[in-house]
């Protein structure tokens, strides 16, 4: 291996470490694999598809990335029935109607108005068009929970992600001055098409190991007692092994840690868990199962058993 190659390799390693460190300063603890995926996303200028269970930090990743890059985060929340108009643009019909009514009072302006109703002044930019028309620096475009959208909308995304341009019949073709940095998230409620996957880099984000989850808790809540953070992480790891209807994610662990701090708790015991379980379990069946397994959960966490 030549000196030049080693120097280049070291520079790449330093850049990946810098990304990981920058995310950490914003409270996001990323392992090397995820930091490398972000480096490749930026270097190759390709969308990044992030899949994993709900609540593991997929959405937060895009938010922190925008902070790291010092640019705007534009978020498109996907849902069943989402169409291109809601995601791209609409005309501001009430504003156009008001302009017509005002012009009717001055007939001499009607001729000029007829050619001016379909201009940028009356265009309502939805997230995808805003990401395209945004002046540099390029924004981070978060297409959140893309698996909730219909397959027809997914097909529409394929063309947009390929060209980053949109044709508005009344205005012509609008092109991105600088391609947005695109993060797509999916909870795997349905399979995404191979065509969409081929256009993206891919990263799976799973529930973190207890030591990493404790690290995340302490990074996001610096005032949290270190021992309590470790106990919460161990409790969560054991809890997720149970056949729950909805396993709690890292976001619920953070909510629980904040609740315990508000109550002045510095260690886990049965009483504190029962009083605050609603912060991380949102189903009656899951609550009953957790309470039935309380001794085992507290033993795994090193807390005070009943």
pLDDT digits (tens, 9 = 90+) for 47-86: 999 999 999 999 999 999 999 999 999 999 999 999 888 8
User: Residue 153: what pLDDT?
Assistant: 92
pLDDT digits (tens, 9 = 90+) for 9-37: 888 898 999 999 988 888 899 889 999 99
Cα–Cα separations (whole angstroms), residue 56 to 11, 196, 231: 30, 22, 18
| Cis peptide bond N-terminal to 219, omega within 30 | no
- The fraction of the chain above a pLDDT of 70, given in percent, is 94
User: Residue 140: what pLDDT?
Assistant: 97
DSSP 8-state symbol, 304: B
What CATH class is the domain 3-88+126-204? alpha beta
Mean pLDDT of 85-91: 87
The pair phi, psi for residue 303, each rounded to 5°, is -95, 180
- The fraction of the chain above a pLDDT of 90, given in percent, is 66
Return the percent helix, strand and coil in the chain, to nearest 5: 55, 15, 30
Q: Work out the pLDDT band at 114, boundaries 50, 70, 90.
A: low
How far apart are the C-alpha atoms of 235 and 243, rounded to whole Å? 15
User: Residue 90: what pLDDT?
Assistant: 87
**Tokens representing residue 137 in the block:** 């620096």
DSSP 8-state symbol, 82: -
Name the packing angle between helices 250-262 and 210-220 (round to 10°). 50
Q: Work out the pLDDT band at 109, boundaries 50, 70, 90.
A: low
How far apart are the C-alpha atoms of 160 and 182, rounded to whole Å? 11
pLDDT of 4 higher than 80:
no
Instruction: Report the candidate in 85, 59, 170, 173 with the shortest Cα–Cα distance to residue 121.
Output: 170
pLDDT of 106 higher than 80:
no
CB atoms within 10 A of CB 193: 13
pLDDT of 115 higher than 70:
no
User: Residue 306: what pLDDT?
Assistant: 54
pLDDT digits (tens, 9 = 90+) for 185-199: 999 999 999 999 999
β-pair type (181-186, 140-144):
parallel
β-pair type (89-91, 123-125):
antiparallel
User: Residue 261: what pLDDT?
Assistant: 93
Cα–Cα separations (whole angstroms), residue 262 to 172, 223, 254: 55, 11, 12
How far apart are the C-alpha atoms of 281 and 200, rounded to whole Å? 33
Asked if 257 contacts 232 with a C-beta cutoff of 8 angstroms, the reply is yes
pLDDT digits (tens, 9 = 90+) for 206-255: 999 999 999 999 999 999 999 999 999 999 999 999 999 999 999 999 99
Q: Hey, what's the torsion of the CAs at 90, 95, 101, 102, to 10 degrees?
A: -140
CB atoms within 10 A of CB 54: 17
User: Residue 60: what pLDDT?
Assistant: 93
Question: Residue 76's beta-bridge partner residues?
Answer: 143
Radius of gyration over every alpha carbon of the chain, rounded to an integer in angstroms? 24
């Amino acid at each position: 291996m030549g000196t030049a190659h080693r120097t280049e390799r070291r520079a790449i390693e330093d850049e990946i470490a810098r990304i990981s460190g920058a995310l950490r300063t914003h409270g996001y603890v990323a392992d090397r694999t995820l930091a490398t995926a972000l480096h490749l996303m930026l270097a190759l200028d390709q969308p990044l598809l992030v899949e994993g269970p709900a609540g593991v930090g997929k959405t937060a990743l895009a938010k922190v990335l925008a902070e790291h890059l010092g640019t705007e985060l534009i978020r498109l929340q996907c849902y069943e029935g989402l169409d291109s108009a809601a995601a791209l643009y609409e005309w501001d019909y009430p504003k156009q109607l008001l302009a017509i009514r005002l012009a009717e009072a001055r007939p001499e302006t009607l001729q000029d108005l007829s050619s001016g109703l379909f201009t940028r002044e009356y265009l309502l930019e939805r997230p995808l068009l805003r990401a395209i028309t945004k002046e540099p620096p390029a924004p981070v475009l978060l297409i959140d929970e893309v698996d909730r959208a219909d397959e027809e909308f997914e097909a529409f995304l394929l063309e947009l992600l390929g060209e980053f341009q949109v044709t508005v019949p009344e205005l012509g073709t609008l092109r991105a001055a600088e391609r947005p940095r695109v993060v797509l998230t999916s909870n795997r409620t349905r399979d995404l098409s191979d065509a969409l996957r081929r256009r993206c880099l891919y990263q799976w984000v799973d529930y973190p190991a207890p030591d990493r989850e404790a690290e995340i808790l302490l990074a996001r809540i610096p005032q949290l007692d270190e021992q309590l953070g470790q106990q919460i992480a161990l409790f969560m790891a054991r809890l997720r092994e149970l056949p729950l209807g909805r396993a709690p994610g890292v976001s619920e662990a953070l909510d629980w840690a904040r609740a315990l701090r508000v109550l002045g708790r510095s260690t886990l015991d049965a009483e504190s868990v029962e009083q605050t379980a609603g912060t991380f379990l949102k189903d009656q069946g899951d609550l009953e199962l957790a309470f039935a397994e309380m001794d085992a959960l507290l033993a795994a966490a090193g807390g005070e058993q009943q």
